[in-house]
Amino acid sequence: MKLSSQAQAFVLHFGEMGSRWGFNRTVGQMFALLTIHNKPVNADQLAEALKISRGNVSMGLKELQAWRLIELHHQPGDRKDYFTASGSIWDLARTVFEERRKRELDPTLTLLRQLLLTEPRDEQETEAQKKIQEVYSLLEMLDQFANTLSKLEHKDLAKLMKLGSGLNKLLDLKAGAKAKKPGK
**Contacting a second copy within 109-128 (CB under 8 A):** 111-112, 115, 118, 120-121, 124-125, 127-128
The reply to whether 56 sits near DNA by the rule CB under 7 A is: yes
Between the two ends of the chain, the Cα-to-Cα distance in Å is: 66
> Closest by alpha carbon to 19, among 27, 30, 7?
27
Nearer of residues 59 and 138 to DNA, judged by Cβ = 59
- Comparing CB distances to DNA, the nearer of 39 and 54 is 54
* Alpha-carbon distances, residue 122 vs 103, 125, 179 (angstroms): 33, 5, 43
* Alpha-carbon gap, residue 42 to 73, rounded angstroms: 9
Stretch 12-71 residues interacting with a second copy (CB under 8 A): 13-14, 17, 20-22, 35-38
Per CB under 8 A, 1 contacts a second copy: no
CA distance 27 to 3: 17
54 binds, among a second copy, DNA, none (CB under 5 to 8 A by kind): DNA
